[in-house]
Structure 1
Amino acid sequence: MSDDRVRLRDLLRGVASTLPDFAITQRGLWNLIRFKPDTPLSIGLRYEQLAASTPAQIALRFEDRAWTYAELNAWANRIAHTLAARGVTRGQAVALLFENRAEALACALAVVKLGAIAAMLNPQQRGEVLAHSIGLVDARAIVVGEECRAALESTAHHPQAGSALPFWWDGEGEPPAGYRPLRGEAALAPADNPPQTAQIRLREPCFYIFTSGTTGLPKASRMTHYRWMRSLAGVGQLAVRMHRDDVLYCPLPLYHNNALTVSWSAVLSAGATLALGRKFSASRFWDEIRRYDATAFCYIGELCRYLLNQPARPDDREHRVRLVIGNGLRAELWDRFQQRFGIGRICEFYGASEANLAFVNGFGLARTAGFCPMPFAIVEFDAAHELPRRGADGHLVRVAKGGVGLLITEITERAPFDGYTDKKASEAKLLRDVFKRGDCWFNSGDLVRGQGWGHIQFVDRVGDTFRWKGENVATTEVEGALNHFPGVTEAVVYGVQLPDCDGRAGMAALTLDTAFDGAALARHLSERLPAYAVPLFVRLRRAQETTATFKFRKVELKQQGYDPAQIDEPLYVLRDRARGYEPFDAAAYAEIRRGALRF
């Protein structure tokens, strides 16, 4: 049977599998049709509707506590009235600095109920980076959890530094000098719904979500109520299809859209329960799942790898999880993860904080980032110059069926681009005159493979793909081959510059749980990769550095390259494929620099 027929067969089976949830998908389709940017609707209004219709339903669980929809709505209302009494109004930003806990979600809900914007700061940031993030959003006030005081006070944005901003303290006991007691003042505020909530329209911003800063200082992307509610309909109702008795466990940080938008909107699409984890722990993950009796959880791809790297346990399948939702689950891990832990349905999605469209695997197909019904295209990409390729007519060129190229999505009234707070950064993400004069498309910055029937598979980030020996090397594919080698627990691949060479040579930073066998690794990679894609250098690391959302940090690795003077970890080079990877030292580095050693 041809690949096309197999995909069509699997797609039809996937469509048939949605029939038991037909009523849910019907609501999702209707909501996608009726939600328009000027519709008077918002996150806060959706919450108020649930609090009125199912007041006793558990909305949130955190550690040993639980809140019903009525209780959490009233809690958020008291905070909203408190902030409003001190001058917070519609359209203003309130910066929230918390680790994961229930108070962070209550404050975020309170802010958006006022028509204000919750700027979700990253508590892992310090000093210049955190100060930069705060400065991007022109905050009207800052609410800080007691656990984040040191982070805030590493910047100039705190009371002792003489900042004129109002600072709110969420913690036990009396707040430090210069901070207002949020808990104390909110306890005295009314619990009724703020009148501002009913006036908000979908096009208005609700959150500022910050990029991770893996390639520079963070940018603040705008999230509107429109995009959030479209996630509720398109991801939550059409793809995830949760029921009221479901419990979704979320150990990801609330300043990340996987938690705040995808997970929370999926829960609110059904009036289900969100079980919030303080932080992700691979060793305690399944104990937490059982503790909350979760039926679903959200993930990022590396989270799945960490779970697979844990020793197998007899109770790996002793849970009630029937579906998971997330992004970045690599093809080489998909089947192993699903089979080991007995996961019924994987709702992989593709999207970004600033993107105007999303793809979601709503039909339970294996190894796909999903489907999108809105206009998108996959176009040819010049990796050497990191630009989409234009044809003789000046327009972009679509790749052939099944080919890999740059994903772009058309910007329309129904799929707007909300951009960043920085207008220059926003404009840099746009492509104009793409297929006809005057059109405008969003540049995703990602290379994908078209799978047919509106589905795509993620291949690589544009900045990660490099060119060597006249060929494009996708780091994710090389990492996939490395991760199949016994003993490799984590692999990070990137390109490094060699003297007098076009393009970049491959280098892999590996963490191992066994001794390194350079000859065996070279044989393994040569059997699975084209010659140009086999890394020339290997660096062994005790641990990989990641962002708070488990993305590998490659900036420092690329800067250090293969220079032994900058690296205090073992280095290896592939001089001869028959001998495999051999130790690399300062003498060999000098040979490369003077041109005596070439590849």
Structure 2
Amino acid sequence: MAHHPSDMITWSMLLRKVPTIVRALPRVLRGMRAANITDPTQPCGLGWHFEQATLRNPQGAALLYGDSVISYRDANQRANRIAHHLQGQGIRKGEVVALFIENRPELLLTVLAVAKLGGICAMLNTAQTQAALVHSLSLVSPAAIVVGAELVDAYAAVRDQVEIAPERTWFVADQAESGPPNGFIDLMAASAQSPEDNPVSCAQVFFNDPCFYIYTSGTTGLPKAGIMKHGRWTKTAVSFGSIALNMGPQDVMYCTLPLYHATGLCVCWGSAIIGASGFAIRRKFSASQFWDDVRTFNATTLGYVGELCRYLLDQPPSEQDRHNSVTKMVGNGLRPGVWAQFKQRYGVEHICELYAASDGNIGFTNVLNFDNTIGFCLQHWALVDYTHDTGEPLRGSDGYMTRVPKGGQGVLLARIDEKSPFDGYTDPQKNRKVVLTDVFEKGDRYFNTGDLVRSIGFGHGQFVDRLGDTFRWKGENVSTTEVENTLLQHPQIAEVVAYGVEIVNTNGRAGMVAITPRESLAALDMRELLQFAHGQLPHYAVPLFLRIKVKMETTGTFKYQKVKLKEEAFDPDKAGNDPLFAWLPGSDSYVPVTAQLLAQIQGGHFRY
């Protein structure tokens, strides 16, 4: 990401914000008190806050989807029926219920029900299949699973590899199916006669109780399950809903982001709950239908990721573009080149860009509405020097790390303390990898985000890049190790190196792999290889580019030279004699990359 000196925040810019700061101050102080719960006996979290929103706005719209509108009172009662039923089937506080349902009200009502019991929702990525799905389930040992009709086939394919009792395998119909498939129990039908009152268990959920397992791509391969506790959910929801966005019953948040990710589930839905606001969702994002939905739902607030904004800007301009009620939006990954354009075209006043890792302990928020920044963070954080080829933080001769100067960029570290605890992963080994000790002084502990951030003044930061062995594409983290391990199962592939490369005017990095064939290039069927990748990997992790290498170059310690491969990317002039191939949108095979095709790809001829 290119940076310009004008990105730095100056005193004059800050002074212009003084009236905004003064107006926001009471709200910020109120929000900070509500977000930082310290009393271990105070009820908090998702279920408790939803019940508070129901008391505040019982007739107001809680969930909007297609033509249906569910009020807060109705949503609360439906979730209560599910909760009482699950309780009757033995689901207790601290037990894990895996959820495998696409974006629709039934997913959120089930999440709410499990949260009211103090259960932990394992939010399965709906794009997962086969080995990745089995891995995600076995990581958290679920006591039960709820599967949407749309994902029954994906679950049925791995069911015999997962130990979940048939009497705790629930099904949620989609539209008006005739009934549950064999070996599933219809959750809505089974809970229809259960009590509608708030379960007593909801008032016995406290800040240290886990709420969700949210999966993140592990640099070591398959997904990791990050723990989100109710205290952290509360801090996230209040920080965005109250402090940053000032949500109220008159607001509607429109969210097309996947609800198995923290941005959709905790930031967007959480903000709506804190404001007793409407939460409008769609099964899958549609660029052509987006603004029609916004107008239908009368949305005031949007949830976004950078890619989504770019897709919307790619749509043909319309006289209707500014005909919307949106004043604010919250999300992450909006590039400076898109930022001003988006505000101008759609008339959005406040872009509340955020930075947070669902598995970390730190969050930045652009509360003051500066342009091109992730905002500021009240926690203790530092940017440190790092090794460019590995992305690892550097220690000096004294054993400690060095902070980068103001305006510089470095790896973002977040101090772990009582105010910023690290909830961690379900796997203790993963925790050890990301927790650094004795960073600036003996005994201190910091969470290594693995992200490159730039300091732009007055405590504000700017996201630069993701380091290490993951890259981001289509709003998802792609694990290079998972891609490598999957493609190595192909009988014609001897070696694989996966990495992310940039395509001009797209967000994130597209997947590319360097491959050494087992026999020869001629033995590789490019159509079959693409089919194989699609069958084994989530769609966003399928490599868009291939480079065929007779022999992989390695470092002295036998590590693949990824830095060089990333720099040369898919440019035939730089790749020497290595043949390059690309998978073009809408096609069913990899095709050779020529100088002409490279110019077309980088010239925006294809819609990635």
Q: Shorter-normalised TM-score: what interval?
A: 0.7 to 0.9
1:248 — aligned with what? Answer: 253
How far 1:11 moved relative to its partner?
Answer: 2.7
State the one-letter code of the partner of 1:403. Answer: G
2:593 — aligned with what? Answer: 570
Q: Identity over aligned residues, as a percent?
A: 40
CA distance in 1, matches of 2:146, 2:7: 53
Question: Which residue of 532, 542, 565 maps to 2:584?
Answer: 542
For the Cα contact (< 8 Å) 2:171–2:186, is it kept in 1? yes
How far 1:213 moved relative to its partner?
Answer: 6.0
> SS in structure 2 opposite 1:24?
helix
Change (3 A) 1:4 1:97: closer
How far 1:463 moved relative to its partner?
Answer: 2.3
Question: Which residue of 38, 41, 45 maps to 1:42?
Answer: 45
Question: Which residue of 54, 58, 66 maps to 1:55?
Answer: 58
**1:72-94 Cα deviation digits (max 9, x unpaired):** 11110000000000010000000
2:306 — aligned with what? Answer: 301
2:336 — aligned with what? Answer: 331
How far 1:265 moved relative to its partner?
Answer: 1.2
| Structure 1: gaps of 5 or more residues | 467-474, 511-517, 523-531, 546-565, 575-579, 584-599
Aligned positions of 1:9-28 closer than 5 A: 9-28=12-31
2:480 — aligned with what? Answer: none
Q: Does 1:406 align with 2:411?
A: yes
Question: Which residue of 157, 174, 178 maps to 1:173?
Answer: 178
For the Cα contact (< 8 Å) 1:492–1:508, is it kept in 2? no
Aligned positions of 1:453-464 closer than 5 A: 453-463=458-468
State the one-letter code of the partner of 2:300. Answer: T
Change (3 A) 1:59 1:334: same
2:11 — aligned with what? Answer: 8
State the one-letter code of the partner of 1:568. Answer: V
**1:297-322 Cα deviation digits (max 9, x unpaired):** 10011111111112222211111110
Aligned positions of 1:363-378 closer than 5 A: 363-378=368-383
2:90 — aligned with what? Answer: 87
1:210 — aligned with what? Answer: 215
Question: Which residue of 313, 316, 322 maps to 1:311?
Answer: 316
How far 1:568 moved relative to its partner?
Answer: 2.5
Question: Which residue of 504, 509, 515 maps to 2:564?
Answer: 504
Change (3 A) 1:262 1:37: farther
Q: Does 1:389 align with 2:431?
A: no
CA distance in 1, matches of 2:246, 2:277: 11
Aligned positions of 1:575-586 closer than 5 A: none
CA distance in 2, matches of 1:311, 1:569: 31
CA distance in 1, matches of 2:66, 2:316: 25
CA distance in 1, matches of 2:416, 2:105: 36
CA distance in 2, matches of 1:5, 1:178: 59
CA distance in 1, matches of 2:586, 2:400: 41
CA distance in 2, matches of 1:17, 1:100: 35
Q: Does 1:419 align with 2:421?
A: no
For the Cα contact (< 8 Å) 1:377–1:407, is it kept in 2? yes
State the one-letter code of the partner of 1:504. Answer: K
For the Cα contact (< 8 Å) 2:254–2:302, is it kept in 1? yes
CA distance in 2, matches of 1:224, 1:489: 30
- Range that drifts further, 96-105 or 39-48: 39-48
Change (3 A) 1:507 1:495: farther
Change (3 A) 1:11 1:299: same
**1:247-273 Cα deviation digits (max 9, x unpaired):** 100111110111110001111221111
1:550 — aligned with what? Answer: none
Change (3 A) 1:539 1:314: farther
For the Cα contact (< 8 Å) 1:538–1:572, is it kept in 2? no
CA distance in 2, matches of 1:305, 1:4: 21
For the Cα contact (< 8 Å) 1:129–1:217, is it kept in 2? yes
How far 1:52 moved relative to its partner?
Answer: 2.1
**1:123-176 Cα deviation digits (max 9, x unpaired):** 2111111111111111011111111101111213589x9955620111143212
**1:505-538 Cα deviation digits (max 9, x unpaired):** 414469xxxxxxx9xxx9xxxxxxxxx9xxx998
Question: Which residue of 216, 224, 227 maps to 1:222?
Answer: 227
How far 1:491 moved relative to its partner?
Answer: 6.8
CA distance in 1, matches of 2:580, 2:568: 6
> SS in structure 2 opposite 1:125?
coil
For the Cα contact (< 8 Å) 1:142–1:165, is it kept in 2? no
State the one-letter code of the partner of 2:49. Answer: R
Aligned positions of 1:174-189 closer than 5 A: 174-189=179-194
Change (3 A) 1:4 1:385: closer
How far 1:392 moved relative to its partner?
Answer: 1.3
How far 1:214 moved relative to its partner?
Answer: 8.2
How far 1:492 moved relative to its partner?
Answer: 3.9
Q: Does 1:194 align with 2:199?
A: yes
CA distance in 2, matches of 1:500, 1:177: 52
State the one-letter code of the partner of 1:249. Answer: Y
How far 1:29 moved relative to its partner?
Answer: 2.3
Change (3 A) 1:414 1:136: same
- Range that drifts further, 144-153 or 107-116: 144-153
Change (3 A) 1:336 1:491: farther
For the Cα contact (< 8 Å) 1:11–1:365, is it kept in 2? no
For the Cα contact (< 8 Å) 1:322–1:343, is it kept in 2? yes
2:281 — aligned with what? Answer: 276
1:589 — aligned with what? Answer: none
For the Cα contact (< 8 Å) 2:129–2:154, is it kept in 1? yes
Alignment RMSD (CA, Å): 3.2
CA distance in 2, matches of 1:198, 1:372: 31
Change (3 A) 1:108 1:158: farther
CA distance in 1, matches of 2:313, 2:146: 37
**1:4-48 Cα deviation digits (max 9, x unpaired):** 995232233335225445543332122234455664322111111
- Range that drifts further, 229-238 or 414-423: 229-238
Aligned positions of 1:433-512 closer than 5 A: 433-463=438-468, 479=502, 482-483=504-505, 492=510, 499=553, 503-505=563-565, 506-508=567-569
1:119 — aligned with what? Answer: 122
For the Cα contact (< 8 Å) 2:9–2:456, is it kept in 1? no
For the Cα contact (< 8 Å) 1:537–1:573, is it kept in 2? no
CA distance in 2, matches of 1:384, 1:14: 40
For the Cα contact (< 8 Å) 1:35–1:230, is it kept in 2? no
> SS in structure 2 opposite 1:381?
coil
For the Cα contact (< 8 Å) 2:167–2:185, is it kept in 1? no
For the Cα contact (< 8 Å) 1:37–1:226, is it kept in 2? no
How far 1:54 moved relative to its partner?
Answer: 2.1
For the Cα contact (< 8 Å) 1:508–1:539, is it kept in 2? no
> SS in structure 1 opposite 2:13?
helix
> SS in structure 1 opposite 2:403?
coil
Question: Which residue of 237, 254, 270 maps to 1:265?
Answer: 270
CA distance in 2, matches of 1:342, 1:214: 39
Change (3 A) 1:397 1:493: farther
> SS in structure 2 opposite 1:260?
helix
> SS in structure 1 opposite 2:10?
helix
> SS in structure 2 opposite 1:426?
helix
Change (3 A) 1:74 1:233: same
How far 1:226 moved relative to its partner?
Answer: 0.7
TM-score, normalising length: structure 2: 0.79
State the one-letter code of the partner of 2:301. Answer: A
For the Cα contact (< 8 Å) 1:331–1:367, is it kept in 2? yes
How far 1:344 moved relative to its partner?
Answer: 0.8
Change (3 A) 1:348 1:215: farther
